[in-house]
Amino acid sequence: MQVTGTYRTQLRIGTPMAPPTWALLERELLAANNRACREFFDYYFDERGYLRCVERWGGDDGPDDAIENLYDWPVLHALGGDDSIRAMAQLGWEGHLRQYTEAKTTEVPFAVDGMYYKEFPTICDWLHNGESMSVFNLMGLSDPHAPLFEKRVRRYAGLYMGEDPGAPNYDPERKIIRSMFNGSRGPMLRKATAVDWAGDPIEVENRFVLLHGERNYQEMLDHFKDYNDVAGDHPLNLGATSLVLNAYTLTGEQKYLDWLVDYTEAWLERMAANGGIIPSNIGLDGSIGGECDGKWYGGVYGWGFTVVVPQTGELAHRNLTHWGYRGFGNAVLATGNMRYAEQWGQMIDLINAQAKEVDGQTMTPRMYGDEGWYAFEPAPYAHGALDVYYWTMAERDRARVQGDPWVRFLQGDNPSFPEEVLRRDFETIRRKVAEGIHQENLTPDTRLSDNPNPYNPATVGNLFRLMLGGLPTGNAAFPLQARVRYFDPVQRRPGLPADVAALVERMTADETVVHLVNLNQTEARSVIIQGGGYGEHQIQEARIGEVAAPVNGAWCAVRLAPGCGDRVTLRMARYANAPTMLLPWD
């Protein structure tokens, strides 16, 4: 599969129209994001890109939370945000690498020489490693040719492909990542301790505000006292496929695709051997439940991982096996093989088939332990259901998400959706700026790295859905899953050109309808439309009104006359091309 086509053959839109409300809201929301992010960065980061906080190692407030304060910023720039957004994200990335390489622990053994090693977390789980990579993994959307970018992409992928002898995370024979705790120092093969998770002792009362609610260091230790069984593979580790996918989209090298497919296929085989349910522990010998007395549901963040909240004594169910679907989505993006999505959808159905009636209400489980399924809730199990439908566009998968307001909009029965969600996003930005900057009274010596997380003002999830027909990337290093993407051929940068708004109004398995509007009443604008976030969708034909033009490539270009707008209907072959970070002019 090769990305082909030219963006120089232009279609033309010359139909004058009054600016739609959604278009005005969209452009102003981009501007509001720009302003709020600049204010946030100036308040929380210094001129070096260092976060103004007390550096700590820990599952609550570690280095991953420092850079997580800038998640969604690369996406904001790729949508059409100011170049200053990209510059701040880059400065914050470089600054946090230095800051947490310099930061050291005294009692956590794998971070005594630095919390980062080789510009990567020394060792942690992929809930936190994913947060660490949530900014970097999307930087290539703006500039895949930036200095050091390719070196880092290759280095990070190599940590999980057996290319770094100092980090033997991967067993190629058994196709496992050898521990749920892994990173640039390799895998943890012993039982983890509370100190490994909570970090060095810290003064808490009257100084720090812990977002998990602990009131002292002992409660921090108690929070993690049962987080012991980390040896062996876990579905969370499928997050590491994002690093390898990043390397594949940047370089196109077959070794990256081969590893991604091999590792993901191994998980499909384990699901099949476990009755269709993804197991939460794979032993070092490759057996299901091998490090947990043969229990497929064992291990930290496993199907049976229920712990006590120290400050309340209540039980908390912390099953994170569902994060595995992200790795399956990476395999879909890389190969176009829908088997990865379909098997996850089948697992959703298997879990929901365990439903029972409680007081006249249908309840479905979220956990599995020695006594079978438990932790029943009134809503169906739906982790990854929207993503599965997004990938397959099959009716059987849509049935699981038919109540989703965005899905309803795409099917024409929720027309007010764009304006409603965009208006709400303005309130979100206003609240975050007010609470996080204007009202926050912490000082750098009383602020932890995660304290600013709730106030990150980048609010792009709905812009993502509406402009790109895409799934929000979130804070887990998830790649760009989008039906279309835009570029400015004049400024030669990603994102919509100034004054242009776009709304994906309809998506089917082979067609996408995009409404483009030029809000500038005196100047024309040109925009390149790309099929998919990485050119993975082949645009076969583009039609405006009754005028259709063959494209047969990943890109087409549209010129919009002043004050004009219209719908562009794209006939597509989804996942027909190898995904690539190449820009149209490359």
**Alpha-carbon distance 386 to 228, whole Å?**
33
477: confidence class by pLDDT, cuts 50, 70, 90: confident
Band of pLDDT at residue 201, cut at 50, 70 and 90: very high
Q: How confident is the model at residue 97 (pLDDT cuts 50, 70, 90)?
A: very high
Please determine, for residue 3, whether its predicted confidence score (pLDDT) is greater than 50: no
d(CA 515, CA 23): 10
Mean pLDDT of 145-165: 97
Tokens 């590893």 correspond to 259
**Backbone dihedral angles phi then psi of residue 416, each to the nearest 5 degrees:** -85, -5
Q: Please name every residue paired with 471 in a beta bridge, in sequence order, or none if there are none.
A: 481
2 pLDDT above the threshold of 60: no
Q: Are 308 and 378 contacting, i.e. CB atoms less than 8 angstroms apart?
A: no
- Nearest-angstrom CA–CA distance, 570 and 539: 6
Q: What is the mean pLDDT of residues 469-498?
A: 95
Show Cβ contacts of residue 192 under 8 Å, excluding neighbours closer than 6 positions: 181, 227, 228, 229, 230, 300
- Cα distances from 514 to residues 80, 563, 567, in angstroms, run 17, 17, 6
Q: How far apart are CA 131 and CA 290, in angstroms?
A: 28
Question: What average pLDDT does this structure show over 229-241?
Answer: 98
pTM of the model: 0.96
Q: What is the pLDDT of residue 8?
A: 60
Q: Do the Cβ atoms of 31 and 80 come closer than 8 Å? A: no
Q: What is the DSSP string of 529-566?
A: EEESTTS-SEEEEEEETTEEEEEEESEEEEEE-TTBEE
Domains present along the chain, CATH in parentheses: 28-146+409-474 (no CATH), 484-573 (2.60.40.1180)
Express each pLDDT in 399-448 by its tens digit. 999 999 999 999 999 999 999 999 999 999 999 999 999 999 999 999 99
Q: How many helices (H) and strands (E) does the chain have?
A: 17, 20
pLDDT band at 500 (very low <50, low <70, confident <90, very high): very high
Question: Residues 209-224: pLDDT tens digits?
Answer: 999 899 999 999 999 9
Q: How confident is the model at residue 269 (pLDDT cuts 50, 70, 90)?
A: very high
- pLDDT averaged over every residue in the chain: 96
Tokens found for residue 459: 């609010």
Q: Can you give the pLDDT at residue 142?
A: 95
Instruction: Give the pLDDT of residue 10.
Output: 77
What backbone phi and psi angles, to 5 degrees, belong to 557?
A: -120, 145
CA 490 to chain centre: 30
Overall average pLDDT of the 520-549 stretch: 96
Question: What pLDDT does 1 receive?
Answer: 33
Judge contact between 466 and 505, C-beta under 8 A: no
Segment 271-288 mean pLDDT: 98
pLDDT at 358 over 80: yes
The arithmetic mean of pLDDT across residues 165-175, rounded, is 98
Average pLDDT value for residue range 346-351 = 98
Residue type, position 244, single letter? V
Q: Could you report the per-residue pLDDT of 76-96, keeping only the tens digit for each? A: 999 999 999 999 999 999 999
What integer pLDDT is reported at residue 474 of this predicted model? 87
**Per-residue pLDDT tens digits for 5-40:** 456 657 999 999 999 999 999 999 999 999 999 999
In this prediction, residue 6 carries a pLDDT of 57
Cα(247)–Cα(538) distance, integer angstroms = 21
Name the band, by pLDDT with cuts 50, 70 and 90, for residue 371.
very high
CA distance 100 to 91: 14
Alpha carbon separation from 397 to 348, 400, 402, 462, 572 (Å, rounded): 10, 6, 9, 22, 20
pLDDT of residue 60: 87
Cα separation of 123 and 132, whole Å?
12
Both tokens assigned to 54? 């007390």
Instruction: List % helix, strand, coil for the chain (3-state, nearest 5).
Output: 35, 20, 45
The whole-number average pLDDT for the span 351-379 is: 96
Amino acid letter for position 269: E
- pLDDT of res. 9: 57
Q: How many CB atoms lie within 10 A of CB 372?
A: 10
**3-class DSSP state of 393:** coil
